[in-house]
Amino acid sequence: MSIELQHIKKTYANGEEVLTDINATIEDGQFYILVGASGSGKSTILNAVAGFLPIDSGQVIINDQDVTTLPPKNRHLSMVFQNYALMPNLTVSENIVFGLSARHVSKEIKAKKLREALSLVHLEDYQDKRPGNLSGGQRQRVSLARALVSEAKIVLMDEPLSNLDAKLRAEMRKEIRTLQQQLGLTVIYVTHDQTEAMTMGDQVMLLNQGKIEQVGAPLELYNHPVNTFVADFFGSPAINLLSVEIDQNKLTLSNGITLQLNGPIKSGSYQIGIRPENVVLTPTGRFSGVIAQIEPLGDGTNIAIDMKLPNLIRIKLNEQTSLKLGDSVTFDILNTKAMIFNSDGQRMTIGKESLVVS
Ligand SMILES: Nc1ncnc2c1ncn2[C@@H]1O[C@H](COP(=O)(O)OP(=O)(O)OP(=O)(O)O)[C@@H](O)[C@H]1O
pTM: 0.90
pLDDT value at 50 more than 90: yes
Q: Is 186 in the pocket of ligand 1 (CB under 6 A)?
A: no
pLDDT band at residue 281 under the 50/70/90 scheme:
very high
CATH of 3-233, one of 3.40.50.2000, 3.30.2130.10, 3.40.50.300, 3.30.2420.10: 3.40.50.300
Which protein residue has the closest C-alpha to ligand 1 atom 2? 12
Whether 253 and 309 have beta carbons less than 8 Å apart is answered as yes
Question: Residue 33 C-alpha to ligand 1 middle, in angstroms?
Answer: 17
Q: Cα–chain-centroid distance for residue 98?
A: 31
Q: Is 93 in the pocket of ligand 1 (CB under 6 A)?
A: no
Which protein residue has the closest C-alpha to ligand 1 atom 31? 39
pLDDT value at 13 more than 90: no
Question: Residue 208 C-alpha to ligand 1 middle, in angstroms?
Answer: 12
Whether 237 and 244 have beta carbons less than 8 Å apart is answered as no
Q: Which of 245, 315, 302 is nearest to 275 (CA)?
A: 315
Sign of CA dihedral 253, 257, 262, 265: positive
Helix, strand or coil for residue 185? coil
Question: Residue 14 C-alpha to ligand 1 middle, in angstroms?
Answer: 12
pLDDT band at residue 37 under the 50/70/90 scheme:
very high
Question: Residue 182 C-alpha to ligand 1 middle, in angstroms?
Answer: 33
pLDDT band at residue 16 under the 50/70/90 scheme:
confident
Residue ranges of the chain that CATH labels 3.40.50.300: 3-233
In this structure, the strands spanning 328-333 and 313-317 are unpaired
Sign of CA dihedral 96, 101, 103, 108: positive
Q: Find all residues with CB under 8 Å of 318, minimum gap 6, and list them.
A: 299, 300
Atom index in ligand 1 nearest the CA of residue 190 equals 22
The Cα 324–Cα 230 span in angstroms is 32
Q: Cα–chain-centroid distance for residue 150?
A: 26
Looking at 193-349, which runs of residues are DSSP E strands?
203-208, 211-216, 240-253, 258-274, 279-281, 287-296, 301-306, 313-317, 328-333, 339-342
Q: Is 14 in the pocket of ligand 1 (CB under 6 A)?
A: yes
Q: Is 192 in the pocket of ligand 1 (CB under 6 A)?
A: yes
Atom index in ligand 1 nearest the CA of residue 41 equals 18
How many Å is the Cα radius of gyration of the chain?
24
Which protein residue has the closest C-alpha to ligand 1 atom 6? 12
Looking at 37-83, which runs of residues are DSSP E strands?
57-62, 65-66, 77-80
Length of the chain: 358
Atom index in ligand 1 nearest the CA of residue 40 equals 21
Question: Residue 80 C-alpha to ligand 1 middle, in angstroms?
Answer: 17
Helix, strand or coil for residue 231? helix
Q: Is 318 in the pocket of ligand 1 (CB under 6 A)?
A: no
Q: What is the ipTM of this complex?
A: 0.95
Question: Residue 191 C-alpha to ligand 1 middle, in angstroms?
Answer: 13
Q: Is 38 in the pocket of ligand 1 (CB under 6 A)?
A: yes
In this structure, the strands spanning 57-62 and 154-158 are unpaired
Region 282-293: mean pLDDT is 95
The CATH code that applies to domain 240-355 is 2.40.50.140
Percentage of the residues of the chain whose pLDDT score is greater than 70: 96
pLDDT value at 352 more than 60: no
Residue ranges of the chain that CATH labels 2.40.50.140: 240-355
Distance set, CA 91 to CA 80, 100, 121 (Å): 18, 15, 15
